[in-house]
Copies of this chain bind each other. A is one copy, B any other.
């Protein structure tokens, strides 16, 4: 039996809010768990990273470090930072990937900057107008991939259509779901609803070979009426952040209830057992980040506050995207779709 190909994954070790501690911990954990299938390249200040590796007992792992003295912060403007900080861990890591030194790049840095760097340095897949970043929303029974999650505001119908193609392929190849259902987020189920661009997108999706199930509403996300839901990044971002705040809202209300007496406190203490178990997948660290879809390369982004476990999952996720050749499938799908569209015009 042939041993599986080993992938080289570069990790932006200075991107997250707790860098480089969590990045290094996640990388070491990944090597311990699936070190036979991945090599990890840490990108960042070499001195700092060597020290952190030593501190965390990672000396005996064969971790490569590529020096990058600068850091793009969460407060930097994405495009300005990329111009000014050419030696940032983000830019250096992305160039490593472009030059073929690594198979994928993983970062918990400034999402806007990661998207810009990926688009500028790696370029777009043929047929893609706008690369996108989606997000997984845990649902009643599975997950729903919502895209765009904020990378692109003011989307046109063509963009929404491309998001649907890319999301569909991603879910198909990473979640092994044949012919995933695709929904268009709208203000009602009827096909006459929505803005001009959404109406046009409805038509394009209806005529495509995607498994389009029509308009879906905000209330249909948790019930997974569609595996892939497409929307403008403005809406996606608002939804995503609103949903993420639900657990804190719940905690706030329960704390308030608990403060009103001993019996209340006891009941809340007991309630937390089923609640934590039932809602554990609301923790974004479980999902291993989300890919930048539509660029010529494999880039996975995570929250600034990604935990070590989250980094480990992101590294795993990146290697799966490489193994499943997602970009090749996207290019093929958009190519055949373009062909269909052109033919229809005749």
Contacts and interface: CB of A to CB of B under 8 A. Distances in A.
Contact of A218 (B140, B153, B241, B253): B241
A192 to B, nearest CB: 8
B237 A239 contact: no
Interface of A is mostly: helix
Contact of A275 (B192, B244, B271): B271
Interface stretch (A87-95, A101-109, A227-235): A227-235
Interface string A249-268: 11011101110000010011
A44 B239 CA distance: 39
B242 A221 contact: yes
A267 B220 CA distance: 28
Nearest to A75: B190
A187 B274 contact: no
A346 interface: no
Contacts of A239: 218, 238-239, 242
A34 interface: no
A26 B185 CA distance: 35
A241 B257 contact: no
B267 A274 contact: yes
Contact of A271 (B195, B232, B233, B271): B271
B249 A150 contact: no
